[in-house]
Amino acid sequence: MITSDPILKQEKIQELKRGDRPNGSEIGTYRSNSYSLFKSSLNPLAGGYVDLILTGAFSNNLFIERRSKRYFFDSTDSKSDDLFNKYGQDLRGLSIITFERAQKERYAPELVKLIKQKIGQ
């Protein structure tokens, strides 16, 4: 259910567009003020902070992967390892607020429906 949830991927992309880490803090700042202004003109949602979105190759190729008992985001983009290493492995996660909303709005109702089908209701 989680690994095939396209809405969850879009929610992660929105976090990146806002320049947010899963804990709500900013991903970071750009060293170059002119590049920060350039990025801000392309994506005002991040307010000049790092957003990991330029061409869309990284964010459009995100997918959810299960490792042990946890789920993580990864990307098939060739820059993915470099970006996670540079900006932090925590970016593989999702905001708890976003996940709890998904759990309440999508996963719980789907689970209840599945249980009712199994018990014949």
35-73: per-residue pLDDT in tens?
Answer: 999 999 999 999 989 999 999 999 999 998 888 888 899
**b/e sequence 88-108, b meaning 16+ C-beta within 10 Å:** eeebbbbbeebbeebeeeeee
CB contact at 8 A, 99 and 107: no
Q: Which two tokens stand for residue 93?
A: 């996660």
**pTM for the full predicted model:** 0.78
Q: In the beta sheet, which residues pair with residue 51? A: none
Residue pLDDT, tens place only, 74-110: 999 999 999 999 999 999 998 888 878 877 887 777 7
The pLDDT of residue 26: 94
1-17 pLDDT, tens digit each? 556 678 889 999 999 99
The CA-to-CA distance between both ends of the chain, in Å, stands at: 21
